[in-house]
Amino acid sequence: MAQRIDGKAIAARLVAATAADVGDLAARHGVVPGLAVVLVGEDPASQVYVGRKIAQCRRAGIVSIEHRLPAATAQQELLALIARLNADAAVHGILVQLPLPPQIDAARVLDAIAPHKDVDGFHPVNVGRLSTGAGGGLTPCTPLGCIKLLDTVVDDYRGLEAVVIGKSNIVGKPVALLLLERECTVTVTHILTRNLPDIVRTADIVVVAAGSPGLVRGDWVKPGAIVIDVGINRIVDGDGRARLVGDSVTAELDHAAAVTPVPGGVGPMTIACLLSNTVQAARAQLERAAAIGTDAARA
């Protein structure tokens, strides 16, 4: 039987550690981290995700500042809001929930967020820092969550074969970079990759983020491999009941060494990492302000 990696428990520990960091920042510096959450439109899944993010902020002691804008919001209006949030010292992190309505150019919006407040890690500066391994940037939450789950079952990544299924900017590409940084041999595949099952069979680590329910079958997975399933797909059973399934068929993965369940695997880690990124951003902003203060005192 494969080990189930308990994302819910690991995320709860990270939220508790983040809450302790929040308490420390408040006690030592009188600063409470603030996260601005921007939702444009009424996409039902986005509304659920944003609601969860705000609820978890409260649990960790982070102040969340909600901005819900109508679906018809003009790009200029959203850019003006981001400019205000960039300039607001009480806002340490800015998250614009994706997807955005079609009249808005998401890349322009993500570019407009100050890189040091970009707790999603989607700004080109943070993407660049991740891809060069320069450090000091903010790392996208879901990929970071995947690595934190892997860290509980992998001692030494060096030379392991990792196959990533999915090439999105939110998960596939950044998780591949994080695995490469740990010196895995990384293959990035996607839904049009030829011989996908054969490629996945070579993997010691499989990260699947394809948005395709049950894509990875038991006979795709090498005995002893680790499967991180990022998929969250709502399907309707034969009896008409809706349930959540991942991008792999967990019931066929008994021969794997470890797997993440859906729900209760990667999902809770995304929000926990968002909170810890917000505290990291707040701390960095404090340090920057202190350094500027020191320079000013010297001048």
Closest C-alpha to 164, from 154, 178, 152, 153: 178
Could you tell me the smallest distance in angstroms from the CB atom of residue 232 to ligand GUN? Answer: 10
Residue window 189-228: x/- pattern of binding to ligand GUN, with contact defined by CB under 6 A? ----------------------------------------
Phi and psi for 282 in degrees, rounded to 5? Answer: -65, -45
d(C-alpha 89, C-alpha 34), whole Å? 9
Q: How many residues bind ligand GUN (CB under 6 A)?
A: 9
Closest C-alpha to 284, from 16, 92, 36: 92
120 in catalytic set: yes
Could you tell me the smallest distance in angstroms from the CB atom of residue 169 to ligand GUN? Answer: 10
Q: Of 53, 117, 148, 173, which is the active-site residue? A: 53
Could you tell me the smallest distance in angstroms from the CB atom of residue 99 to ligand GUN? Answer: 7
State which of residues 91, 127, 170, 179 lies at the interface with ligand GUN (CB under 6 A).
Answer: 170
How far are the Cα atoms of 34, 37, 141, 196, 229 from residue 216, in angstroms, in the given order?
39, 34, 23, 9, 9
List % helix, strand, coil for the chain (3-state, nearest 5): 45, 15, 35
Q: Which is nearer to ligand GUN, 81 or 196 (CB)?
A: 81
Q: What is the DSSP letter of 139?
A: P
Task: State which of positions 99-138 bind ligand GUN (CB under 6 A).
Answer: 120
Could you tell me the smallest distance in angstroms from the CB atom of residue 226 to ligand GUN? Answer: 22
Q: Which is nearer to ligand GUN, 196 or 266 (CB)?
A: 266
Asked if 22 interacts with ligand GUN (CB under 6 A), we say no
Q: Half-sphere exposure of 160 toward its Cβ, with a 13 Å CA cutoff? A: 22
Chain residue whose CB lies nearest ligand GUN: 98
Closest C-alpha to 98, from 137, 50, 60, 62: 50
Asked if 141 interacts with ligand GUN (CB under 6 A), we say yes
Could you tell me the smallest distance in angstroms from the CB atom of residue 266 to ligand GUN? Answer: 11
Q: Which string of DSSP letters, residue by residue, matches 94-110?
A: EEE-SSPPTTS-HHHHH
Asked if 15 interacts with ligand GUN (CB under 6 A), we say no
Task: State which of positions 43-102 bind ligand GUN (CB under 6 A).
Answer: 95-98
State which of residues 142, 276, 280, 285 lies at the interface with ligand GUN (CB under 6 A).
Answer: 142
Report the sign of the C-alpha dihedral through residues 240, 245, 249, 250, in that order: negative
Closest C-alpha to 122, from 171, 170, 85: 170
53 in catalytic set: yes
Could you tell me the smallest distance in angstroms from the CB atom of residue 141 to ligand GUN? Answer: 5
Q: Of 56, 117, 118, 120, which is the active-site residue? A: 120
76 in catalytic set: no
Instruction: Give the ranges where 133-250 is alpha helix by DSSP (H).
Output: 141-151, 172-181, 196-200
Contact residues for ligand GUN, defined by CB under 6 A: 95-98, 120, 141-142, 170, 270
Catalytic residues: 53, 97, 120
